[in-house]
Amino acid sequence: GNSVTQMEGPVTLSEEAFLTINCTYTATGYPSLFWYVQYPGEGLQLLLKATKADDKGSNKGFEATYRKETTSFHLEKGSVQVSDSAVYFCALRLSYIPTFGRGTSLIVHP
């Protein structure tokens, strides 16, 4: 079946550090890939997406590139802020129902 594997959290960084949150997937076909973010007390929000191989999704300084050869969609940001502290979910979609990973908590200290 389809599945998404994310790195275990929490990821703890200092402000302005470089962020990578790893995500790999298993799918029978060519899925669309997504990153969602959940800020404290709020719902999941779509952060970025990529629909085919080598596409790069980007938003709010975050980027992720759809790598078919490594079945990965790692989330990166060059300089994190305290306000980026949240839980980040990687997801894939083959049918119209997304499959989510477990989420990775990011904590950014001033």
Partner 1 sequence: EPEVTQTPSHQVTQMGQEVILRCVPISNHLYFYWYRQILGQKVEFLVSFYNNEISEKSEIFDDQFSVERPDGSNFTLKIRSTKLEDSAMYFCASSVGRDDGYTFGSGTRLTVV
Residues near partner 1 (CB under 8 A): 4, 36, 38, 41-46, 49, 89, 91, 95-103
Q: Rounded to the nearest whole angstrom, what is the least distance from the CB of residue 38 to partner 1 in the complex?
A: 8
Alpha-carbon dihedral sign for residues 8, 38, 13, 58? positive
Residue (19 or 91) nearer to partner 1, CB: 91
Paired strand residues for 48: 35
Residue (97 or 110) nearer to partner 1, CB: 97
Q: DSSP character for 2?
A: -
Q: DSSP character for 107?
A: E
Residue (9 or 17) nearer to partner 1, CB: 9
